[in-house]
Amino acid sequence: MIREKSKGLLIVVSGPSGAGKDTIVNKVIQDMKDTKLSISMTSRDPRGKEVDGVDYYFITKEEFEERIKNDEFLEYAVVHSNKYYGTPKAKLEEDLNKGKNVILVIDIQGALKVKEKVEEALFIFIMPPSMEELKDRLIKRNTETRDKILERFKTAYNEINEYTKYNYVVVNDKIDKAVEKVKSIITAEKCRVDRIEDIYLNTKEEFIHEGLINKEFENNEIEI
Ligand code: 5GP
């Protein structure tokens, strides 16, 4: 009997705003039934059509700080100058223990903290095809003021050089191709020897008992 590890795989996905990581990850979880998304908490305000409890849990700065004190986050970071973002620990552990693979879509500071704490986690970096394309995507999204777009672009510029700290890089030039790549990476990682929990091969005695092989075979006296 051969079994994958019963605990799910923790997958960290990062990349600059506008690289398309949310779109990619949403398609991946639609296709991979044993894989789900961790919903982060943030102290920033909802944007556009974002829904509380779906896109994020939107909480106040004070509530966030209270939860930090209570050690409720696997990691948290201050992103875009002054807003908190964090991964709630309890739900994540529950899902992993149930055997679900859980994807965290978090920034690089958060990813590095996860790397320190969870050695076996998988790290994927989503790259835009070019900085020019990234700028166009941020402007087209049209959900923010010009100042905020500029700030995101600046952050992106700094973040992009950090891809070497990840296990895999996926360039998002065509969304469907990028989705297939991420799915393939997850599938391959689940097959890695160090992620296989239990390989039980029948002993020779059992095979002999069942008549599948005989003594001569055991003694290498016969040719196959
Ligand atoms: P946005 O405001 O565009 O939704 O997200 C801004 C950045 O915060 C993105 O890079 C996103 O990946 C990151 N982020 C979202 N949730 C978390 C989290 O729980 N922890 C950390 N460290 N970053 C997060």
Q: What are phi and psi of 164, to 5 degrees?
A: -65, -15
For 21, how many CA atoms within 13 A lie in the half-sphere containing its CB? 22
The per-residue pLDDT of the chain, averaged, comes to: 89
**Ligand 1 pocket list (CB less than 6 A):** 17, 40, 44, 75-77, 79, 85-87, 105-107, 109-110
CATH of the domain at 107: 3.40.50.300
Residue 200 lies in a domain: no
Atom of ligand 1 nearest to the CA of 21: 12
Nearest alpha carbon, ligand 1 atom 18: 86
Burial (CB count within 10 angstroms: exposed 0-12, middle 13-18, buried 19+), residue 51: exposed
Nearest CA residue ID for atom 5, ligand 1: 17
Look at residue 114 and tell me if it is in a domain: yes
Residue 33 placed within a domain:
yes
Rounded to 5°, angle at Cα 169 from 122 and 159: 95
Question: What three-state secondary structure class fits 41?
Answer: strand
pLDDT digits (tens, 9 = 90+) for 75-116: 999 986 689 999 999 999 999 999 999 999 999 999 999 999
For ligand 1, pick from 51, 79, 165 the residue to mutate: most ligand atoms within 8 Å of CB. Answer: 79
For the chain, the domain total comes to 1
Atom of ligand 1 nearest to the CA of 105: 12
Which of 1-15, 47-61, 147-161 is the most confident on average? Answer: 47-61
Q: Is the pLDDT of residue 224 over 80?
A: no
Average pLDDT for 20-41 = 96
42 lies in a domain?
A: yes
**Strands, E, within the chain: which ranges?**
2-4, 10-14, 35-37, 41-42, 57-58, 73-79, 83-88, 101-105, 122-127, 168-171, 196-199
Please identify, by atom number, the ligand 1 atom nearest to the C-alpha of residue 38: 19
The residue whose C-alpha atom lies closest to atom 1 belonging to ligand 1 is 17
Is residue 40 situated within a structural domain? yes
Residue 91: give the domain boundaries.
3-191
**Residue 222 domain-assigned (yes or no):** no
- On whether residue 217 sits in a domain, the answer given is no
pLDDT surpasses 70 at 125: yes
Which one, of 36, 37, 41, 30, lies nearest residue 65 by Cα?
Answer: 41
Give the strands of the sheet with 83-88, arranged side by side. Answer: 57-58, 41-42, 83-88, 73-79
Q: Is residue 223 part of a domain?
A: no
